């Protein structure tokens, strides 16, 4: 859009040309009016001189010269013509003056309208310039907003990428830690299983050794001695019933706790009647606590003893 001064300058030149032309017209009209006024003044002066007392004095002549009459009539007609011409020129001058005034008024009105139009155009151009500046500002603001949003998106994407990489690294470390922990746990389980197997094998060996030792002791003199001590205690505690015959031979299942305290006694095989069976069970319970074994390895929580009181 051209600047306001460039838009107004041709109109200002055009208005100056109009004013210059109207000035020339007014100057010409003024000159003509001046000439007409001067001519009318000279005519009036001449008329006064012709009608002065010296010129209009009554002539006492009786005979009038026809040539003088014609001259007088011609002069009078010329004066009438000149007066009509002067009147016409005065009317033309007045009309020209009115035209000049009207032209001047039209020029003033044209100049005012031109000024109003120029001001309106200037206001329109200013408004258009303001709107253009506002549109440019809006475009610049939209571009700035778009750049800011793009930068924010890029920053968010970069942050998301960093966080994703961090999560991936953390997940990798966690997976490695889990794998290491699982491997360590598997190794620990393997070692525990190996230790358990070794413990079981050692316990089995110990039990086998103990059993072998117990069997060796039980089948040896100490075992016989321990059984004899228990049998003697039961016989001492036995109250023989009337139905018991000579040669009683019964097998008793005994349960004891460390210290020899008997917790149960049950005759599993016997050649006597029910009274004999009951009396033997009562004798075992009565003999509690049973004698301590000569070797702790001989202690058994559950054992069987043959009851033969007659031997």
The CATH number linked to 266 is 3.30.1150.10
**Domain end position, chosen among 126, 148, 170:** 148
pLDDT value for 53: 43
pTM given for the model: 0.36
**189 vs 39, residue with greater confidence:** 189
Residue 19 belongs to a domain: yes
- For CA atoms 215, 267, 256, 207, the dihedral sign is positive
- pLDDT exceeds 70 at position 52: no
Let me know whether 118 and 244 are in one domain. Answer: no
* pLDDT above 60 (res 50): no
Q: What value does the mean pLDDT take over residues 6-27?
A: 54
**Contact, 298 vs 228, CB < 8 A?**
no
Same-domain check for residues 39 and 127: yes
* 192 is a domain residue: no
Q: How far is CA 194 from the centre of its chain?
A: 59
Say which residues have a Cβ less than 8 Å from residue 248's Cβ, sequence separation at least 6.
270, 271, 272, 276, 307, 308, 309, 310
pLDDT digits (tens, 9 = 90+) for 107-163: 888 888 888 888 878 888 888 888 979 778 887 877 789 888 988 898 989 898 889
Q: Are residues 12 and 116 in the same domain?
A: yes
Q: For the chain, how many structural domains are there in total?
A: 2
For residue 40, pLDDT over 70 is answered with no
- Whether residue 230 lies inside any domain: the answer is yes
Domain contains 269: yes
121 and 14 co-located in one domain:
yes
Residues 143 and 227 in one domain: no
Q: Determine phi and psi for 310, rounding to 5 degrees.
A: -90, -5
- Residue 234 resides in a domain: yes
In this structure, the answer to whether residues 22 and 130 fall within a common structural domain is: yes
Give the lowest-confidence range in 19-23, 69-73, 234-238: 19-23
What is the tens place of the pLDDT at every residue in 214-266?
Answer: 777 767 888 899 999 999 999 999 999 999 999 999 999 999 999 999 999 99
Supply the pLDDT for residue 10: 47
- Say if residues 260 and 296 touch (Cβ distance below 8 Å): no
Q: Is 246 part of a structural domain of the chain?
A: yes
Give a three-class secondary structure readout of the chain: CCCHHHHHHHHHHHHHHHHHHHHHHHHHHHHHHHHHHHHHHHHHHHHHHHCCCCCCCCCCCCCCCHHHHHHHHHHHHHHHHHHHHHHHHHHHHHHHHHHHHHHHHHHHHHHHHHHHHHHHHHHHHHHHHHHHHHHHHHHHHHHHHHHHHHHHHHHHHHHHHHHHHHHHHHHHHHHHHHHHHHHHHHHHHHHHHHHHHHHHHHHHHHHHHHHHHHHHHHCCHHHHHHHHHHHHHHHHHCCCCCCCCCCCCEEEEEEECCCCCEEEEEEEEECCCHHHHHHHHHHHHHCCCCCCCCCHHHCCCEEEEEECCCC
Nearest to 299 by CA among 245, 236, 237, 222: 222
138 and 273, same domain (yes or no)? no
What is the span of the domain harbouring residue 128?
Answer: 4-48+69-148
- Average pLDDT of the segment spanning 267-295: 94
- Residue that is last in its domain, among 148, 168, 202: 148
Q: Which of 114, 132, 148 is the last residue of a domain?
A: 148
CA distance 143 to 135: 12
Residues 19 and 131 in one domain: yes
302 in a structural domain: yes
Residue 291 inside a domain? The answer is yes
Q: Report the alpha-carbon distance of residue 161 to residue 179 in Å, rounded.
A: 26
């Amino acid at each position: 859009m051209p600047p306001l001064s460039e838009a107004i300058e041709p109109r200002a030149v055009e208005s100056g040309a109009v004013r210059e032309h109207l000035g020339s017209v007014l100057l010409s009209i003024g000159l003509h009016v001046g000439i007409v006024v001067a001519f009318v003044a000279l005519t009036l002066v001449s008329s006064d001189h012709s009608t002065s007392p010296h010129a209009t004095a009554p002539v006492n002549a009786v005979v009038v010269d026809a040539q003088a009459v014609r001259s007088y009539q011609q002069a009078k007609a010329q004066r009438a013509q000149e007066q009509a011409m002067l009147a016409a020129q005065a009317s033309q001058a007045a009309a020209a003056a009115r035209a000049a005034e009207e032209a001047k008024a039209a020029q003033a009105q044209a100049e005012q309208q031109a000024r109003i139009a120029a001001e309106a155009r200037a206001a329109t151009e200013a408004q258009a310039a303001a709107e253009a500046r506002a549109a440019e500002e809006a475009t610049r603001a939209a571009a700035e907003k778009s750049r800011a949003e793009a930068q924010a998106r890029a920053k968010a994407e970069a942050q998301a990428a960093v966080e994703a990489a961090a999560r991936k690294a953390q997940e990798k470390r966690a997976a490695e830690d889990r794998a290491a922990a699982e491997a360590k746990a598997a190794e620990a389980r393997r070692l525990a299983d190996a230790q358990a197997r070794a413990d079981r094998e050692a316990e089995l060996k110990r039990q086998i050794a103990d059993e072998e030792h117990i069997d060796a002791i039980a089948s040896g003199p100490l075992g016989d001695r321990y059984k004899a001590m228990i049998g003697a205690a039961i016989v001492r505690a036995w109250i023989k019933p009337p139905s018991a015959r000579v040669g009683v031979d019964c097998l008793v299942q005994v349960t004891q706790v460390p210290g020899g305290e008997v917790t149960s006694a049950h005759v599993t095989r016997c050649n006597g009647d029910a009274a004999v069976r009951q009396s033997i069970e009562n004798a075992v319970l009565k003999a509690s606590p049973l004698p301590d074994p000569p070797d702790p390895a001989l202690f058994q929580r559950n054992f069987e003893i043959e009851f033969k009181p007659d031997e």
